[in-house]
């Protein structure tokens, strides 16, 4: 697919959670290379990821693709099983949120 990161976010949230993004802003970009390449589709193990903060959306989130989903405070993400390539963004989000107040972002 030839879509922008924002277009991909909108499509993924529609397909996986049945919501329509309203207010969104880019939070962080990073590139990561997995030394033991976990994906056979990506031959060199490198990934470029754009993270977004979604401040509002339309619809009620519905689990269409996952084993489970739940709302957590940013600092709680640090204790979850997160891919190593996402740790930088999680640390930035948890640190920026201060005392677990995502509203300030």
> pTM (2 decimals)?
0.75
Q: Enumerate helices (H) and strands (E) in the chain, giving the number of each.
A: 3, 2
Q: Using the 8-state DSSP alphabet, how is residue 64 labeled?
A: S
> Are 57 and 98 members of one domain?
no
CATH code (residue 58): 3.90.79.10
19-70 pLDDT per residue, tens:
999 999 999 999 887 777 656 665 677 788 999 999 999 999 999 998 888 8
Quote the domain boundaries for residue 82: 70-105
> Are 64 and 92 members of one domain?
no
d(CA 25, CA 51): 9
- The residue length of the chain stands at 105
d(CA 76, CA 64): 23
């Amino acid at each position: 697919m030839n879509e922008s990161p924002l277009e991909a976010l909108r499509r993924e949230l529609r397909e996986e959670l049945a919501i329509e993004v309203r207010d969104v802003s880019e939070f962080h970009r990073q590139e990561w290379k997995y030394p033991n390449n976990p994906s056979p589709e990506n031959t060199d193990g490198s990934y470029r990821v754009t993270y977004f903060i979604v401040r509002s959306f339309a619809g009620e989130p519905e689990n269409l693709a996952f084993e489970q989903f739940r709302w957590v405070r940013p600092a709680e993400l640090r204790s979850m099983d997160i891919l190593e390539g996402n740790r930088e963004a999680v640390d930035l989000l948890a640190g920026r949120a201060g005392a677990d107040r995502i509203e300030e972002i």
